[in-house]
Amino acid sequence: MRLALDTNILGYAEGVNGAAMKGAALQLIERLPQETVFVPVQSLGELFNVLVRKAGRSPGKARRAVLSWQDAFPLIETSAEVMLAATDLATDHQLSIWDSVIFSAAAATGCRLLLSEDLQEGFTWRGVTATNPFSTRKHPLLAAVLAGSPQS
CATH number at residue 29: 3.40.50.1010
What integer pLDDT is reported at residue 152 of this predicted model?
47
By DSSP bridging, strand 3-5 and strand 113-115 are parallel
* pTM: predicted TM-score of the whole model, two decimal places: 0.94
Indicate the number of domains in the chain: 1
What tens digit of pLDDT does each residue of 66-93 get?
999 999 999 999 999 999 999 999 999 9
In a domain, 152, yes or no: no
In a domain, 116, yes or no: yes
Mean pLDDT, range 28-40, rounded to an integer: 96
Percentage of the chain beyond pLDDT 90 is 96
| Helix ranges restricted to H, 75-137 | 80-93, 97-108
Alpha-carbon distance of 45 to 55, in angstroms, equals 15
Residue 64's Cβ-side half-sphere holds a number of Cα atoms within 13 Å equal to 5
What integer pLDDT is reported at residue 148 of this predicted model?
86
Tell me the chain's radius of gyration from C-alpha atoms.
15
